[in-house]
A and B are shown apart, each in its own frame.
Chain A
């Protein structure tokens, strides 16, 4: 199968899953039931930014499925492949929105799920000043907790904001990575669809700080590519769905670095099998240059540790 075909297949799977999830939610709550993420003024941020439409109910969410469907056109070219990637992102948002519509509290410790507007606003200044030099999205599973911790701490030490999705969260805990917003390591969720919660961070950054008008997809993608220094590390076996989500990241201008055998795409999809080199490979791929003064001390030293609380048991 060609790389584009894998993406189209994954996007279709995501769409099918979204359809089923919405149908189940409507079944349970009715099509008038309210749909909203907590503490945000941007409704479902991805759909809002892409279409300019705010979604208020499950019925409206069901209607939004046709937008997703229209984005999946299996023609063999990059434009269509990236659109399919965006479709996967929209499907993920729809699935995640259903979770919030159906359940009172779909996410619990250690997972953060949806990130509130307030948090994004608090991250805005350090992102602009370069105090947060980049945003790493690490998803999947590293070969061991040790490797996982090494990669996550590698970013943490350089002051990057790290989001975790999937089994890597457990590996991070096992690897004794200290987590939390103030430590700049945020576990999002175990389902791959929870990666959308970092996508909406980038998208809301464009809406809030970039003043990108909702519905102007082209300008949105330009902003995320040029101004949000994010990248993705996709570790462990890659399903078609993950690959198509990766295409969504590429559409936003974020390179994907993986430890798996896939067809590389210059600049955007890079294979790095040496775990010691994943961090520098990723930083170079996103053009992140870190101004560092190495202080030879036996513990991690970075702005990421500023909010750390030393507990009694530590």
Chain B
């Protein structure tokens, strides 16, 4: 970190950071700077606090320091335990999200609250739920029960594992990593990483893989699929992005967090004529709901709600002075928001019993009374419009992009290039042909968070541009998606960054070269797409010319995502090293050894240009292996 604390390529972020500075408000960058230097033992994963004999640390830099913890745990044991616990926490976060969606489906109550019957029937078919003679609500309830069972069923494997290619399913079975019940796998990691339990780093990572797979093919996939059933499957639409989407003359409501049950209800409530009238009475022109982080992605994908910003921009949204209410639920919500909000009129409203913040107003949300509660929250925001304190400053930076690329939307786009006399429709064939012919060299996913260890957004954007010019199509989710749309990479104009092959594909399919596939749980959509392509080609996911990268990752969820991608056969580049570098064995296992076991592996590379070169090399290597 250099002296200039705010290291970003985004203009709006820079401007608002300056405003925060002038108003003496500390933001993420200032706190990161104050934290320097950070603890080397923690950074390398060599610190263990799992029992009260500790904390213990392994000293690597000198000969005479301790080489084992008090219990005798080695650096291999300690780093792998720390990593496994991070993965379990990440899997737990996604899975609890999935559980809430399943509960919302269970309580849907009437048919009008299920917006995508087609998908409901499709999943019912997949799960062997009979639909004859049952009404929609009944089927939904039965599916929700089955989904909830996935979290704690006693026997059997996860339902959605069946979506993987046959070879992958077989491999998981052989390795003993096919997850049973989601909660069970997470508990098992916590058990085996308890003091005096599992000390074999390979076995500890094996447990972590089960937990991670129970996220990707369990919790996250349930979250995505059932969200689609409840709120509709995303289809292409235009949206605006960046903090410039806040409107000075309107009541601005920022929804931030992850769970779409809350944000969807807020969107509905904001369109209520009574509340709109109330807003006008307060002197506002209307109610402007904008989204932040993943819940922002969810309502952008489905409702076209503007994407206000990413993880690092949450405090800055309040610094504009134009936010009447920031409504949050769970995950990636900085507790500092309460402190920042106090300097303005902004009401920070927490809604989940799982995530309260001292200094925030807590209005508990529940799925059964969602609209009622949402109306109350929106009303609070409207009544707060008159209380603006400081001069409002909304940077004029915003960009536009086309988003909404669910798996289903991608298939629909691919149908544009099928010839009705020569080809079937509704398949991944055109994508496979584009890849096999070499028009597209491969595909890469850019996902993940923001992290002060990497320049904000720069890594996401640079990596994406480097891949596009090599004819590698990019899919993105989460805060990677926010970075890409802000940089204009979801605009038609972004074809100028592409090689001839990718530009041609974009033109024929009428798509941007970077496809926004949704929130972080929606990475499950990428798993579905990879599986369908692999199945169509008759190969495993690990054979495909594809890769993933999390250039600015920070959360435990990102570690779970990274590991389930690796365990699904994907080559995954991390821009920030996980806290395992204290053990050569564990680092070597994750970055090399796993490939011979699972076909996927991690790579640590903080330079996005280098990362792109590595992805391109991997892609070409896989092409060669496939003979294409």
Contacts and interface: CB of A to CB of B under 8 A. Distances in A.
Interface of A: 2-4, 76-79, 81-82, 257, 263-267, 269-272, 277, 280-281, 284-285
B421 to A, nearest CB: 4
A257 B423 CA distance: 13
27 contacts: A2-B623, A2-B627, A3-B436, A3-B437, A3-B438, A76-B441, A76-B620, A77-B438, A78-B438, A78-B500, A78-B504, A79-B500, A81-B438, A82-B500, A263-B433, A264-B437, A265-B439, A266-B414, A266-B439, A267-B417, A269-B437, A272-B421, A272-B422, A281-B419, A281-B422, A284-B420, A284-B421
Nearest to B436: A263
Given A77-B499, A78-B504, A82-B500, A263 B421 contact: no
Q: What are the 6 closest A-B residue pairs judged by CB atoms, nearest first?
A: A78-B501, A79-B500, A266-B417, A281-B421, A266-B430, A267-B417
Nearest to A262: B437
Q: Is the interface of A mostly helix, strand, loop or mixed?
A: mixed
A270 B623 CA distance: 22
A277 B421 contact: yes
B392 interface: no
B441 A266 contact: no
Contacts of B500: 77-79, 82
A82 B418 CA distance: 21
Contacts of B627: 2
A277 B437 CA distance: 23
Nearest to A3: B437
Nearest to B508: A267
B434 interface: yes
A265 B419 contact: no
Given A78-B500, A266-B430, A266-B508, A284 B436 contact: no
A284 B419 contact: yes
Interface residues of B, number: 28
B518 to A, nearest CB: 25
Nearest to B470: A77
A82 B421 CA distance: 26
B613 interface: no
B361 interface: no
B1 interface: no
Nearest to B438: A4
Contacts of B420: 284
B51 interface: no
B471 interface: yes
A179 B265 CA distance: 70
Contacts of A81: 438
Given A280-B421, A284-B421, A264 B433 contact: yes
Interface in B428-463: 430, 433-434, 436-439, 441
A24 B623 CA distance: 42
Nearest to B500: A79
Given A266-B430, A270-B423, A277-B422, 9 more contacts: A4-B438, A77-B438, A77-B500, A79-B499, A79-B501, A257-B422, A263-B628, A272-B421, A281-B421
Contacts of B421: 272, 277, 280-281, 284
Given A82-B500, A267-B417, A76 B422 contact: no
B607 to A, nearest CB: 23
Contacts of B422: 257, 270-272, 277, 281
Contacts of B508: 266-267
Contacts of A79: 499-501
A281 B422 CA distance: 7
Contacts of B499: 77-79
A2 to B, nearest CB: 6
Given A79-B501, A277-B422, A265 B434 contact: yes
Contact of A265 (B437, B470, B628): B437
Nearest to B624: A2
Interface centre among B418, B438, B623 (most CB of A within 10 A): B438
Contacts of B471: 77-78
Contacts of B623: 2, 76
Interface centre among B417, B436, B439, B499 (most CB of A within 10 A): B439
Interface centre among B470, B504, B628 (most CB of A within 10 A): B504
Contacts of A3: 436-438
Contacts of A266: 414, 417-418, 430, 433-434, 439, 505, 508
Interface in B278-313: none
A96 B623 CA distance: 38
A281 B420 CA distance: 7
A293 to B, nearest CB: 22
A77 B437 CA distance: 10
Nearest to B471: A77
A263 B437 contact: yes
Interface in B298-345: none
Nearest to B505: A266
A48 to B, nearest CB: 24
Contacts of A82: 500
A206 B441 CA distance: 32
Contact of B441 (A77, A269, A280): A77
Contacts of B434: 265-266
B622 to A, nearest CB: 13
Interface centre among A76, A78, A266 (most CB of B within 10 A): A266
Interface in B378-436: 414, 417-423, 430, 433-434, 436
Contacts of A285: 419
B503 to A, nearest CB: 9
Nearest to B433: A264
B618 to A, nearest CB: 15
Contacts of B470: 77
A254 to B, nearest CB: 14
A269 B508 CA distance: 13
Given A78-B500, A264-B433, A2 B438 contact: yes
Given A270-B419, A270-B422, A265 B433 contact: yes
A2 B628 contact: yes
B192 to A, nearest CB: 46
Given A3-B438, A277-B422, A77 B417 contact: no
Nearest to A82: B500
Interface string B457-475: 0000000000000110000
Nearest to A5: B438
A152 B620 CA distance: 42
A2 B436 CA distance: 8
A4 B417 CA distance: 21
Contacts of A264: 433, 437
B457 to A, nearest CB: 28
Nearest to B469: A77
Contacts of B438: 2-4, 76-78, 81
Contacts of A271: 422
Interface in B227-254: none
Contacts of A78: 438-439, 471, 499-501, 504
Contacts of A270: 419, 422-423
A270 B423 CA distance: 9
A284 B420 CA distance: 8
A284 B436 CA distance: 23
A78 B498 CA distance: 11
Nearest to B499: A77
A43 B504 CA distance: 32
B383 to A, nearest CB: 55
Nearest to A250: B504
A271 to B, nearest CB: 7
Interface in B464-497: 470-471
Interface centre among B422, B423, B504 (most CB of A within 10 A): B422
A77 B501 contact: yes
Contacts of B433: 263-266
Contacts of B436: 3, 263
